[in-house]
Amino acid sequence: MSPSSPTAVDASQALELAVVVPTFNERANVDELVRRLSEVLQGLAWEVIFVDDDSPDGTADHVRELARVNPRVRVVHRIQRRGLSSACIEGMMSTAAPFLAVMDADLQHDERILPQMLQALREPGCDLVVGTRYMEGGGVGEWDESRQFTSRFATALSQRLLKVSLRDPMSGFFMIRRDAFHGAVHHLSSMGFKILLDIVASSPRKLNFTEVPYTFGLRHAGESKLDARVAWDYLLMLADKTLGRYIPTSLISFGAVGGLGVLVHLMVLFLALNVGGREFAQAQTLAVLVAMVFNFFLNNVLTYRDKQLKGWQWWWGLAKFMAACALGAVANVGVASWMHGGGEYWLWSGLAGILVGLMWNYGATAILVWPQRRKA
């Protein structure tokens, strides 16, 4: 369409900025966030896109009601998909705006710096503007010492492992040019909750960035989404960016869970022998069963979180998991015994058996217990 077309939009009215807001149970914060955005972005051509992961509290329905009377508001309602990073990606891909901002729905990010971020991003050569807590003029607000330590440790770990020079690579508040985002999007892990770190680490070229300080605020309503799974996803994202080209991230997670399962096995075996007074065969059987249930539970909520089994499917999945792992144990012992019988050192024989068992368990359970969902 040529600029002179009757349906073309005047340049002063053309959409410039899209604010992408991932949500899950954030209905109580939607109206206030839109009100604040309307105040600070007055005079600009902008829209806000709420990407909702089918919130039980009706967040998506509420946004739809608001969108009927406010054309700046849109909603992307995702079914059977979860994850902050993937939600941000879908939101950014759903808009035509040349400048893309990402922020949380809980009002802890200071929307008042958005115009400053946009002005910086308009400058030639700037690809990315990050709202940072870790520079003069910024801060973490009322965080306790434990959360401050965790955040700074994760920041330092990211900077060291991924060679990122951002002061606050863990920030969830940033603005990026569309071309810079498109350059990285095909390489993104799409896992975890730190999409900024994923973009910077995945970009095929070094992004030129500016940082704008802000103070992290208090949640307006609702509950925090931070939990152990968030930390696990963060570690997996780091693993994906360092080892992902060689080893599937899901295999890394499956192996890590298996390692924890070994510790559980040994603990149960010790208690059954020394506290319960069981014979070794009974104690070993109990330890195997408990470790299998433990491994299934963790893999269900961590490794295959996007395919998590619930209700009767959980029990059927557990049965299939235990059957698959039982065959894996047979393969483990068989390979190790064969190698040891051939004169191999016991350590290498044992490790070979573990590797074969791990690969069998991973492959078999991925197919039988958590198969790839068919796309509609």
Query: What pLDDT sits at residue 376?
Result: 40
Query: What pLDDT sits at residue 349?
Result: 61
**Do 164 and 33 share a domain, yes or no?**
yes
Picking from 208, 236, 264, the residue at the C-terminal end of a domain is: 236
* Residue 260 within a domain: yes
Query: What pLDDT sits at residue 5?
Result: 43
* Residue 6 within a domain: no
Picking from 213, 236, 259, the residue at the C-terminal end of a domain is: 236
DSSP element (H, E) containing 77: strand 73-77
Can you tell me the distance from the alpha carbon of 273 to that of 134, in angstroms, rounded to the nearest whole number? 52
Can you tell me the distance from the alpha carbon of 108 to that of 188, in angstroms, rounded to the nearest whole number? 25
Measured N-to-C along each axis, helices 228-243 and 249-274 cross at an angle, to the nearest 10 degrees, of: 130
Picking from 170, 201, 236, the residue at the C-terminal end of a domain is: 236
Query: What pLDDT sits at residue 62?
Result: 95
Can you tell me the distance from the alpha carbon of 295 to that of 169, in angstroms, rounded to the nearest whole number? 32
**Do 290 and 361 share a domain, yes or no?**
yes
Query: What pLDDT sits at residue 50?
Result: 96
Q: pTM for this one?
A: 0.68
DSSP letters spanning 300-348: IIIITGGG---THHHHHHHHHHHHHHHHHHHHHHHHHHHHHHTT--HHH
Query: What pLDDT sits at residue 38?
Result: 95
Tokens representing 129 are 């503007």
For residue 101, give the nearest of 122, 129, 125 by alpha carbon: 129
Which residues are bridge partners to 213 per DSSP? Answer: 132
For residue 83, give the nearest of 206, 208, 237 by alpha carbon: 237
| Residues of the domain holding 62 | 17-236
**Do 23 and 89 share a domain, yes or no?**
yes
Using a pLDDT cut of 90, give the percent of the chain over it.
Answer: 30
**Do 37 and 169 share a domain, yes or no?**
yes
**Do 291 and 326 share a domain, yes or no?**
yes
**Do 201 and 306 share a domain, yes or no?**
no
Give the 3-state secondary structure of 198-235: HHHHHCCCCCCEEEEECECCCCCCCCCCCCHHHHHHHH
**Do 149 and 260 share a domain, yes or no?**
no
Q: What is the pLDDT along the chain (376 residues), one digit of tens a residue?
A: 444 444 444 455 789 999 999 998 899 999 999 999 999 999 999 999 999 998 999 999 999 999 999 999 999 999 877 778 889 999 999 999 999 999 988 888 889 999 999 999 999 999 999 998 887 887 766 666 766 666 677 767 666 666 667 788 778 899 999 999 999 898 887 665 578 888 888 888 888 989 998 887 766 554 554 555 666 666 666 666 666 666 777 777 888 888 888 888 778 878 887 877 777 667 777 777 888 888 899 888 888 877 888 889 999 998 998 888 888 777 766 666 676 666 666 566 656 666 777 777 788 888 888 887 654 4
**Do 253 and 360 share a domain, yes or no?**
yes
Query: What pLDDT sits at residue 19?
Result: 96
**Do 209 and 288 share a domain, yes or no?**
no
* Residue 144 within a domain: yes
**Do 175 and 299 share a domain, yes or no?**
no
